[in-house]
Amino acid sequence: MSLNNKTVLITGGTGSFGQKFVEVAIKKYKLKKLIIFSRDEYKQFLMKKKFKNRKEIRFFLGDIRDTDRLHRAFHNVEVVVHAAALKQVPALEYNPFEAVKTNILGAENIINRAIDNGVKKVIALSSDKAVNPINLYGATKLCADKLFVAGNSYSGDIQTKFSVVRYGNVLNSRGSVIPLFKEQKVKGVLSVTDERMTRFWITLERSVNFVLKCLDIMRGGEIFVPKMPSMKILDLARAIAPDCECKTIGIRPGEKLHEALIPKDESHNTLESKDMYVIRTPFQLHRTYRGHEKVKDGFRYSSDANKEWLTIKDLKNMLKERG
């Protein structure tokens, strides 16, 4: 789907993903309008300065918990990218109702207001933590994924399409372990939760381009998963601060040793191509996608059993490219 001459709105538009999305989208397309919807007026102020000469960019202050504000913001919008979420795992373990209000009830608000305003496509960002969740953040994202998939059954004659993109940790994003390691490097000691821990990694730019690709091929109801490399947390620490001591502090509340993006139980619904997986809902199993084939029963896409791995050298090169 070309976004040329389209009105696009991104929730959480002042976050790490949102800012990169804006940067890529205005270079790639001639947008009619790009609406930045977020609740942080200071970050909007900074973005206005950064993109001050872009007349197609609009800023809309609001919270996805506020259904009336969303209704106003979605007027004449054709495409919604939903990136707003509360996602700090330890904080949400101790503030559970806040996570529910934003990540679940906020998702419901997005769905209802998109249908009410005749939005054509909505794509929501998910997380590897939504697979077999053991923390509240993962549980709320799993619930949100289910809501967005089911939203296709609610749209009726309006025919608003809803799909989900699910990926792993974003390299150098705010709140990730990389900025933390860079801070700790100054003191000479890095805190590693568990030396066996592995994670999926993706760059901000690739995550944005993947979302744009999925907007093009989505038919509604799919969960799209990019193929991405894994890395051991210990190798990550050594890549950032090779001369520092690594101190094991133990797994924090709500953390796993390894993350999964596709569980075994979803293998019978999953298709694979060269660079991505598509998880179909049971009522979509008749659907085919060009260049995609069914994965084997029992397939599981997890960070510890991945075919592709980042080396210390790979990560150093990636960090250099992004400053």
Q: How far apart are CA 252 and CA 268, in angstroms?
A: 33
Take residue 138 and report the two structure tokens written for it: 């993962």
CB atoms within 10 A of CB 20: 19
Close Cβ partners of 86 (under 8 Å, ≥ 6 residues apart)? 92, 98, 99, 102, 103, 137
Catalytic residues: 129
Q: How far apart are CA 86 and CA 75, in angstroms?
A: 25
Sign of CA dihedral 14, 140, 135, 126: negative
Close Cβ partners of 153 (under 8 Å, ≥ 6 residues apart)? none
**Among 193, 179, 199, which residue's Cα sits nearest to residue 240?**
179
- Angle (CA) 93-99-104 rounded to 5° is 135
